[in-house]
Structure 1
Amino acid sequence: MSTPVETRNGMRWIRADLHIHTPASEDYAEPDVSYLDILQEAERRELEIIAFTDHNTVHGYERFQREIEFLQTLEQGGRLTEEEISRLNEYRRLLAKITVLPGFEFTSHFGAHILGIFAPNRPLSLIEATLLQLGVPAEHLKEGLCGVANTRHVTEAYETIARAGGLVIAPHVNGPNGVITETLRMGTSGQSRIAATQSPHLHALEFVNFYTDHEKFTSPGFYNGKVEHYERRMFCIQGSDAHRLRRLPATDGQVLHRHGIGDRYVELLLPDNSFEALRALFASQDFDRVRVPKRDQKQWAVDAVRFGGSTERQVLRPIDDENHTNQLWCDVAALANAGGGVLVVGCEPGGRVTGVERPDHLSEQLRKGVAEQITPQPYLSFELMSYEGQDVIRVEVKSSEPPPYVCSNGAIYVRRDGETVVADRGEIIQLCRRALAEGASSPLDNGQDLDLPRSGVEIVSGQKRGGVWLYEVRDLRTTAGVTRDRAQGLWAYAISRYEDLRDGRVDVQSQVKWKGRLGLWRAYRQGSRTKYDLVHRDANGVISHIFFGVSDWGLSEAWESLLGERSGEPIEHEAQDFDREDEVVPPHPEDQPEPISPEPISWGERRIRWRGRGGLVAAYRDEQSIGRFDLVMKDKDGPGQQEYRGVALEKLTDAWLNLIRVNRPRTGIEVVSASQSEDGEWQYVFRNLRTGDVSGVPWRLQDIEPGTVREYAARMFQQDLPLDDSKVRWWGNLGYMRPMRSQVDLLFVDEQGELHFYYAARREELTGEWRDLLELYEEM
């Protein structure tokens, strides 16, 4: 189904992408792509005008022409194979619909790029002569090099290309190698930027991130002719800058060239799709004949699923008949068991859109099927989208309760190797373990048939309210509303272990020694006493109770029998703190360490953070990005101490790990990540330390309101990398810098050696080690 045609005075809106690379560019991402592939993808995206604009060469268009000429020569001699006949006919069919223009993307003296686009009948030798005039050496004319030294300046290049009969477009002006970005490096008061964007030889400006919510000079709206010194109104367009056929999914990380053909296009109101009509438009003042559609961002999300294929959390499913409805609710159950995901109905893996003929009927059938077939019921969010002329249903599946999600036929479905399949025994066990880690309990065992230990604590429940986890702790009495910050001693230890289970960091099932329904998880020393972590499982084998820090007095015969049988099990040292009376085995690095004796200065000072006899000097990553720790251990008898440098994580006992681990402060903003998009825009992911919430969509710096904490955090983060230790006061792996009257910027190095930045933390709200840090340096 094609898009309806809108006409005006004998003209119609024509879709164009004037910035497409081919395998003739050295940085093309898919070198095996053919020119026929490119034309077929352009047709699929409903493009009628495209331009081949390889880096500093027209060789891509030349190779495209030579292939067609070769096939035509074979045809004249009657020597075409069946495959070649089909290929030539396909070329003719596509070229009857799509105008392909020759061009290049030239790299000017300061690095800014310029598009030169010419008529199809322009001899390629003359276009190459233009490149020679621009300074591209003859020996590099066919190579498609991204950078060429000693070429013409921007405004000189504009004039040279225009005089050669070409359209002159400044590509990705507000991105990398764009004239706005590059002219900022010249250090002038704006003269270069004005000349580079207002030249009379320049036909159009191409923008990335075309739609923005500001009116800075990086926005197309800035060039409306109403701004002083920028009086010339400019045609503002967008192009794909495609270095591949189809857009990469967002899950592929920070890839330089992500967009595919037609991902960013412009619509032009023209009498036909000829170069002459295009040139006449850009020579006019008819700005209302150019429009840039604002593509729905959710369509990008569908693209990511389509071209990324089916995965554990993404399912593509075409619909041909009613029998597929059964497959759909199986997919929903599998996604729910995976923790949630997205089901796209009306697409095939690989990208083909088949559509849904009766979307309302199908949605209702799927809702009904899920309600009748799946227990417990997951949360479904339906969205009907018009996608490339077809109706497509996007279903977001969220897990409302811990797994497993069981279907009425008794089957438990999971995602395996991109397919929905019936879970095997191992996968079912894993689902049950995940449920336990998420805090699920079994209704089959309420504890009435269990002899409770008379010491220790049990975490009865945990709830997250306002970003803070609250725990109900059973300790001779039931105490509700305990937070980790308020907990001390055994409670703090129990909550720490409970959180390890909840977050899936510990597989308790593999560590428990069972006798019937009672189990011993761990035995450890605390002072002169032995303590136990005990577990109990229900009739189905699901762990229903965990008791932390239990003493051996007052236990029932069943518990005593369990401990008696396990009396030979190894006893660990107490993990919550270093024992002052008993020996704590220190780490043993391979090499003898050098003495640790930093020179104290006003800033750049580093002090040891002690807990009992153990001390942490520093945490960092080595050249191989492996977390390392400099540690100190006081002698058991006497004033001496042993020092250990560069200790690896795997050599640390629980006591050392508990010294290293520190809760995040409950105030301020953490910069979780900062990266550059393919368009050169810095994007930030923030964590609100008060709520613990992480921003789902990266923030562009230009979209952050000036004067906000986020803007301050983003600006300081850029300034702080790479970190200068001479500006930090360290206390082990905790540090701070830039103390202000009411706020402070904090640093933390975790057990993996990763550095965390916490900005604008309010002093009066700091607790625990963070407050101790400032008090240590007498800054509060």
Structure 2
Amino acid sequence: MTTTGEERNEMRWIRVDLHLHTPASEDYAEPNVSYLDILQEAERRGLEIIAFTDHNTVTGYEQFQRELEFLTTLEKAGRLTSEEAARLAEYRRLLEKITVLPGFEFTSHFGAHILGIFPPNRPLSLIEATLLQLGIPAEVLKHGVCSVANTRHVTEAYEIIHRAGGIVIAAHANGPNGVITETLRMGTSGQARVAVTQSPYLHALEFINFYTDHEKFTSPGFYNGKTEHYERRMFCIQGSDAHRLRRLAEAEAQVTHRHGIGDRYFEALLPDRSFEALKALFSSQDFDRVRVPKRDQKQWSLDVARFSGSTERQVLRAVNDPSATASLWPDVAALANIGGGVLIIGCDPGGKVIGVDRPDQATESLRQSVAEHLTPQPYLSFELMHYEGRDVIRVEVKAQDPPPYVGSNGAVYIRRDNETVVANRSEIIQLCRQAIAAGEPSPLDNGETLELPRSGVEIVSSQRRGGSWSYEVRDLRTTAGVTRDRAQGLWAYAISRHEDLREGRIDLQSQVRWRGRLGLWRAYRQGARVKYDLVHRDQNGVIDHIFYGVSDWGLGEAWMSLLNEAGARIETDADDFDQEGTLDPTPPPDIEAWGERRVRWRGRGGIVRITLDPEGQPRFDLVMKDKDTGAIQEYNNVPREKLSEAWLALIRVPRPRTGIEVVNATRSEDGEWFYTFRNLRTGDVSSAPWRLQDIEPGTVREYAARMYHQDMPLDEEKVRWWGNIGYLRPMRSQVDLVYIDEQGVTHVYYAARRDELAGEWRELLQLYGE
């Protein structure tokens, strides 16, 4: 059924979020939030239809209704206090604008989640009866538990909810605990994937990463009715899955749920904001009456940026005077010198949005100042964004020429410790080396002066497109347009090493052993094979080729002579690119003698340790040197609120760019462990938890998961400490690192490569002679 043009003229676009949790869910992040808080935030985000969908319960909606009924009863009895009267009046005002629907998020037999949404006049006892029919035990019906064993299977649940009169939605279908993800993870048949996404009882598919996930089965575009075996076109929507009022910053987002109310919503063209109108739409073929606004993706990225603050490639400046933007050219220079980044004008690093007055003038002022002060000229892309009622300018800086970018004052600026600073001598040398290596692009050698290896890969060229790097990879063929997220195995390894070189994380020159113009960079073991990273330099001594992952059978006489003369020491491959690496089993020496602790100084201040008090709050043991006598004064058990920014800057240590971290480990009711990992090389956190049985034995992930249980809670006597950082289990090529942050949270970074450590992490090992 479709609507006529006349009927559509009587409709309007209504903003909808059908996936909101309340404190009735056991994993809700802010248990003190009230239902009035939730409605007020929904109003702020412009929502007109919302649903309370707590885990396997309708208790949240029930508590919301009980509060309204209680206030109404008091009003009728003339017993309302002034505060209660104001609260009831606010509820009524909001409910004149927002329709609140009862619902639940059901956990099916294999863990996939399903939303059931019902009309507000449906007795809650009938909705609870539906949950009982779905297999939720009566004893946990009011508890909002996330995991329940022995419930109904997905397709059975669809039919039960549908027959109960509900709207049936596959929750976050392409994300963790989604029906698509679960079928892919379990390796079930294509027939099963069709069933869970094409069931006649299913009204809609809810997606995360609506405009950025383009993989097979996981993109909304796959369900447009034109794919073989998926002929039923589906309504594709998104919902916030909010477990808090407002979105968390990325820097804080080690939790599973960081979105706030209305962060992800869709719009529906409806005659009114009723359940009946919404269900009629989902039962129709009017797919163009549902839209997912794309522009808000940028709003969300800005939301992340403002709360995560300034980082290595992101600078936030609280400048609202147009003329003052002229002073920001050093930030542009610093970003250009590290290959590019983003400057956001109108936000302070603490997340406060102050906006920019006269953004056109501010943009032109910065553009002229960069043209006047900076050589060469980077490419600047300006975007004006209206955010929370204010104008904010997002400036994307792209380095068109090799560094260094030099200021009119003769200074070369870089980003160090998330600040724009003048580069020191060694940093300038590194920038110049990059410029020399990139200054004369050479075509692939024709073989007359260089015998090419017959195995391995080479990165021929790279180009930044739309914020992502694209690579031309020479394998047995030349393949263009390879991005990191599409690359696997050796390609992914080559791209990662290439990015390390581009970003200056590795000093290649110091690591190569040369024989004439041929060089051996690295020899490592991958499984049962030994592979080599090889380099070639031109007649001017400039490295013009790097070959990754070459097997010795693919080498000619000259290359074999290099390997024989260089005496290659074979390393263990612990990199986390394709998870094929194994680990050096060397145990730490003299573990009984560990537990040593040394002060980590910066200037006159030093950090000794961080502990937690009985309430779980961090406490800091600090020391200070007298500037005249050098005498040391101790300050023990200092609370965080007493620390200045200078002390916090000492305490904060950037994560290493190598290794892997177990961000979270949870155990289901049936005893199965699930792990979330952070790849420290990319900073990416796995989008879905890994089951232990899915992790390949002998990989870095398996090692990290296994050692995590041995290490947590951390025994500080097994660590060699330098203030609040330390290490344990040093191996020949890798080391496990420990960091306690300013919140008192312990992080263990497993299998960090020694040769890639920098800053405090390198100094830590040098301090102990490692």
Shorter-chain TM-score: which interval?
A: 0.5 to 0.7
- Of the three residues 426, 442, 456, the one matched with 1:437 is 426
Contact 2:695 2:702 in 1 (8 A): no
For 2:148, what is the secondary structure of its paired residue? coil
Q: Are residues 378 and 222 of structure 1, via their aligned partners in 2, closer, same or farther at CA, if it must alter by over 3 Å?
A: closer
The answer to whether the 8 A contact 1:380-1:397 is kept is yes
- 1:473: which partner in 2? none
Measure how far apart 1:39 and its partner are.
Answer: 2.2
Superposition map of 1:51-66 within 5 A: 51-66=51-66
Aligned pairs for 1:418-497 within 5 A: 435-439=424-428, 464-466=436-438, 485=512
RMSD: 5.8
When the two structures are superposed, what TM-score results if normalisation uses the length of structure 1?
0.53
Matched, 1:383 2:385: no
Cα distance, 1:437–1:301 mapped onto 2, change above 3 Å? farther
Instruction: After TM superposition, list the pairs within 5 Å mapping 1:124-139 onto structure 2.
Output: 124-139=124-139
Contact 1:381/1:395, CA 8 A, preserved across alignment: yes
Give the total of aligned pairs.
517
Inter-partner Cα distance in structure 2 for 1:469 and 1:203: 49
For the structure 1 residues 630 and 149, does the alpha-carbon distance in structure 2 shift closer, same or farther, using more than 3 Å as the test?
A: closer
1:29 pairs with 2:56: no
The equivalences for 1:63-462 within 5 A come to 63-77=63-77, 79-183=79-183, 189-211=189-211, 216-252=216-252, 254-295=254-295, 297-309=297-309, 316=316, 322=321, 325-326=323-324, 328-329=325-326, 333=330, 342-347=342-347, 355-356=355-356, 358-368=358-368, 381-388=380-387, 391-396=391-396, 435-439=424-428
Which string of whole-angstrom CA distances, capped at 9 and with x for unpartnered residues, describes residues 555-576 of structure 1? xxxxxxxxxxxxxxxxxxxxxx
Match of 2:733 among 736, 743, 750: 750
The answer to whether the 8 A contact 1:333-1:406 is kept is no
In 1, Cα distance between equivalents of 2:146 and 2:172: 15
Question: In structure 2, how many angstroms separate the alpha carbons of the residues matched to 1:80 and 1:311?
Answer: 51
d(CA) in 1 for partners of 2:398, 2:735: 31
Q: Provide the C-alpha distance between the structure 2 equivalents of 1:681 and 1:211, rounded to a whole number of angstroms.
A: 26
Q: CA 1:34 to 1:650, structure 2 compared with 1: closer, same or farther past 3 Å?
A: closer
* 1:240 shift after superposition: 1.8
Instruction: State the shift of 1:379 in Å.
Output: 5.8
TM-superposition CA deviations, 1:195-248 (whole Å, max 9, x none): 332322221122233346757333333333344543333222222212222333
| Preserved CA contact (<8 Å) 2:660 2:701 | no
Distance in structure 2 (CA, Å) of the matches to 1:31 and 1:698: 26
The 3 A distance-change label for structure 1 pair 617 and 51 is closer
* Aligned residue type for 1:383: F
Deviations 1:452-511 (A, max 9, x none): xxxxxxx997855146989xxxxxxxxxx987525599xx9xx9xxxxxxxxxxxxxxxx
Instruction: Tell me the SS of whatever aligns to 1:17.
Output: strand
After TM superposition, give the deviation of residue 396 of structure 1 in Å: 4.8
Q: Which amino acid aligns with 1:438?
A: E
Q: 1:239-298: CA deviations, max 9, x gaps?
A: 221222233333346532232222222221111211111011111121221222334654
Q: State the Cα distance separating 1:55 from its structure 2 match.
A: 0.2
The structure-2 alpha-carbon separation of the partners of 1:698 and 1:74, relative to structure 1 and needing over 3 Å to count, comes to closer
What CA distance in whole angstroms lies between the structure 2 residues aligned with 1:172 and 1:377? 46
In structure 2, the CA distance between the partners of 1:368 and 1:32, relative to structure 1 (3 Å rule), is: farther
d(CA) in 1 for partners of 2:501, 2:319: 44
Counterparts of 1:356 and 1:310, CA distance in 2: 18
What's the secondary structure of 1:24's corresponding residue? coil
Q: Structure 1, unaligned stretches of length 5 or more? A: 1-5, 421-430, 442-458, 471-480, 496-608, 622-626, 632-642, 652-669, 687-693, 702-715, 726-747, 758-780
Question: 1:721 matched to which residue of 2?
Answer: 699
Say if 2:244 and 2:259, in contact at 8 Å, map to a contact too: yes
* CA 1:316–1:438: 2 relative to 1, 3 Å: closer
Which amino acid counterpart does residue 383 of structure 2 have in structure 1? Answer: L
Q: Tell me the amino acid that sits aligned with residue 721 of structure 1.
A: T
Q: Deviations over 1:298-355 (max 9, x none)?
A: 44331112233567876655666x4x743x4556657867988754334467767565
Matches within 5 A, 1:758-777: none
Partner in structure 1 of residue 635 of structure 2 = none
8 Å CA contact retained: 2:52, 2:102: yes
Per the normalisation by structure 2, the TM-score is 0.54
In structure 1, what is the Cα distance between the partners aligned to 2:434 and 2:592?
A: 35
Work out the CA distance in 1 between the residues paired with 2:100 and 2:349.
Answer: 29
Q: Partners in 2 of 1:18 and 1:36 — Cα distance? A: 17
Alignment correspondent of 2:14: 14
Instruction: Report the Cα distance in structure 2 between the residues aligned to 1:311 and 1:618, rounded to whole angstroms.
Output: 32
SS in 1 for 2:380: strand
1:75 CA drift (Å): 4.2
Q: Distance in 2 between matches of 1:241 and 1:63?
A: 19
Larger mean CA deviation between 117-126 and 256-265 belongs to 256-265
For the 8 Å contact 2:382–2:395, the answer to whether it is kept is yes
Aligned mates of 1:335, 1:460 — CA distance in 2: 18
Give identity over the alignment, percent: 59
Could you tell me whether the CA contact under 8 Å between 1:108 and 1:157 is conserved in 2?
Answer: yes
What CA distance in whole angstroms lies between the structure 2 residues aligned with 1:353 and 1:406?
31
Tell me the equivalent position of 2:453: none
Conserved in 1, the CA contact under 8 Å of 2:268 and 2:289? Answer: yes
Alignment partners' CA distance in 2, 1:649 and 1:398: 47
Q: Deviations over 1:736-774 (max 9, x none)?
A: xxxxxxxxxxxx9635366589xxxxxxxxxxxxxxxxx
Deviations 1:647-685 (A, max 9, x none): 99999xxxxxxxxxxxxxxxxxx997799999x999997
Question: What amino acid is the match of 1:386?
Answer: M
Q: 1:307 to 1:42 in 2, by over 3 A?
A: farther
